[in-house]
Amino acid sequence: MSDSNKSGLSEVTLAAGDKNVVLPVQHPTLGAPCIDIARLPKETGCFTYDPGFTATASCKSAITYIDGDAGVLLYRGYPIEQLAEKSSFLEVAYLLMNGELPTPAEFSAFEHEVTHHTMMHERLKNFFQGFQYDAHPMAMLAGTTASLSAFYHDTLDLEDPEQRRLAAIRLLAKMPTLAAAAYRYSIGWPIRFPRNNLDYVNRFLHMMFEVPSEPLEMNPVVAKALDLLFILHADHEQNASTSTVRLVGSTGANPYASVAAGITALWGPAHGGANEAVLKMLAEIGTPDKVDAAVARAKDKNDSFRLMGFGHRVYKNFDPRAKIIREMTHKVLGELGVNDPLLDVALKLEEAALKDDYFVQRKLYPNVDFYSGIIYKALKIPTEMFTVMFAIGRTAGWVAHWLEQQEDPENKIGRPRQIYTGSASRDYVDADKR
Ligand code: SDX
């Protein structure tokens, strides 16, 4: 029996004027019961108003569960802590897409298929030439991801489950290739082919950092850290970018366009763009002695400054991913022999904020983006690529949700309503009478 079933709530009654409307309650496996308001407009002539969908379930999903108060994150029921310790990003991608952990034979077949879809069409490389060299890599990633639909016409029939599956594989396989190509183009280095003899993460690192003049020495510490970061970023229920993928997918748009829309949504500093914004904020604060002034600014309602990497729509406790990344930060920087003064600023900022009533009362804790930037910097990933790294990991969740949505019998085109605040109907006024 689910937690919400224990509430015993099977329906609610809404007193709407002289009418009582009985609304059914739907129960999840875990989490809060949901009042089904589909009949509300017909029964009462009213809609509901919920900006930002803070209290609204947009769909049913079996992929990921978050308990924001307890700081719990499950991928297909498996705690993120166990997956972080025992799994790999590609195995987690399989889990998110298929619902179960793969057998060794299943994983081997999956890895082989992903590995053999990592190349991009040679004509697609020309798309990068159209960008200024200093274009933001998220712009290049969004543009080239959407353009995949111009090349892969054999995966555009969404009625065909095999074509849907292959499109998901292609997106998972090619995202690192496109991401590395965007980086290489921005620094004027030749775009590298993916090497099939390397695993998913080392293949990406090779495409990012290998130079023609000398072989790249792979660093297992870097690869393990990156694999873990991709696991932690892989999925997160109906966050803004995943909801965007679903909304675009609900129109019947192809998966490449749907995921490209997710990339653009992730870019915002309130979402995936926060990891880049955190590092800029830490650099702007500069030294631990300036942390208190930054906290004061973040509390000042007349100052738009916010502590990037703090707060979360769902987590009102420590983001479990931030806990794992925080521990990993010290380990990775130690193993790489990196002494980053920004880490001292981050630790001081975390300490100051977690003691401050403003943050405590609003349950603002460090989120997944607070420490990830420091590790990416230690891995020599350039700041502008931080959100691109988030996109690589989140592609696993985006394609898993897109596949789930396409098979959902309750899936329908997303079309929210509004509270109209404009003019009532009025007649046109000729220009000479205005
Ligand atoms: C991600 O949804 C997901 O799951 C996202 C994500 C994922 O994996 O997909 O987890 C990834 O996007 C993490 C969040 C990264 N963003 C940031 O770190 C940017 C800084 N954080 C804030 O912008 C904010 O906390 C949000 C956007 C994350 C959450 O905003 P909410 O839930 O809409 O909260 P709110 O804006 O209504 O804030 C509530 C109060 C307000 O104060 P009051 O009006 O009550 O006085 O908290 C304050 C806010 O001003 N507040 C902050 C703050 N975040 C919220 N004040 C200072 N610094 C902050 N960071």
DSSP sequence for 88-109: -HHHHHHHHHHSSPPPHHHHHH
Res 266: pLDDT = 97
Shortest-distance Cα residue to atom 30 of ligand 1 = 313
Nearest CA to ligand 1 atom 36: 313
Which of 2-6, 136-140, 165-169, 281-285 is the least confident region?
2-6
Band of residue 213 on the pLDDT scale cut at 50, 70, 90: confident
Residue 313 CA to ligand 1 center (angstroms) comes to 6
Per-residue pLDDT tens over the stretch 28-82 = 999 999 999 999 999 999 999 999 999 999 999 999 999 999 999 999 999 999 9
Nearest CA to ligand 1 atom 25: 311
Q: Report, as an integer, the average pLDDT of 263-270.
A: 96
Report pLDDT for 1: 40
Tell me which of 242, 306, 358, 395 to substitute to probe ligand 1's pocket, judged by most ligand atoms within 8 Å of the beta carbon.
Answer: 306
The protein residue whose alpha carbon is closest to atom 8 in ligand 1 is: 236
Encode pLDDT of 224-236 as tens digits. 999 999 999 999 9
At 336, which amino acid appears?
L
Tokens for 211, please give them.
Answer: 């130079």
Across the chain, mean pLDDT equals 94
Residue 3 predicted with pLDDT over 60 = no
Confidence check: pLDDT of 245 > 90 = yes
Residues of the chain with CATH 1.10.580.10: 81-410
Active-site residue among 27, 136, 312, 401? 312
Query: Of 237, 257, 264, 260, whose CA–CA distance to 96 is shortest?
Result: 237
**Among residues 70, 71, 73, which one has the least CA distance to residue 83?**
73
Task: Please tell me the residue having the least CA distance from ligand 1 atom 47.
Answer: 362
Contact, 25 vs 33, CB < 8 A? yes
User: Which of 139-148, 184-193, 377-386 is most confident?
Assistant: 139-148
For 60, 339, 406, the CA distances from 234, given in Å and listed in that order, are 19, 28, 20
Distance CA 244, CA 265 (A): 7
Q: Token digits for 366?
A: 């460090």
Q: Which residues form ligand 1's pocket by a CB distance below 6 Å?
A: 236, 239, 270-272, 274, 298, 306-314, 362, 364, 367-369
- Options 1.10.580.10, 1.10.8.60, 3.90.10.10, 1.10.287.3510; CATH of 81-410: 1.10.580.10
User: What mean pLDDT do residues 384-393 have?
Assistant: 97
Confidence of residue 155 (pLDDT cuts 50, 70, 90): confident
Closest-lying ligand 1 atom to the alpha carbon of residue 241: 9
Å from CA of 149 to ligand 1 middle: 34
CA 278 – ligand 1 centroid, Å: 13
CA 186, CA 38: separation in Å to the nearest integer?
Answer: 49
Predicted pLDDT of residue 7: 64
Q: What is the pLDDT of residues 406-426, one digit of tens each?
A: 999 999 999 999 999 999 999
- CATH, domain 11-57, list 2.20.28.60, 2.40.50.140, 3.30.300.30, 3.40.50.150: 2.20.28.60
Question: CB of 147 within 8 A of CB of 205?
Answer: no
Average of pLDDT values for 202-219?
91
CATH 2.20.28.60 residue window(s) in the chain: 11-57
Is there a catalytic annotation at residue 369? yes
> What's the pLDDT tens digit per position in 97-106?
999 999 999 9
pLDDT tens column, 351-376: 998 899 999 999 999 999 999 999 99
Q: Which two tokens stand for residue 311?
A: 């707060």
Other CB atoms within a 10 A radius of the CB of residue 383 amount to: 16
Report the sign of the C-alpha dihedral through residues 167, 171, 173, 174, in that order: positive
Cα of 411 from ligand 1 centre, angstroms: 29
pTM, entire model: 0.94
**Closest residue by Cα to residue 178 from 227, 137, 209:** 137
DSSP per residue over 5-59, as a string?
Answer: GGGT--EEEEEETTEEEEEEEE--SSS--EE--TTHHHHHS-----GGGTT----
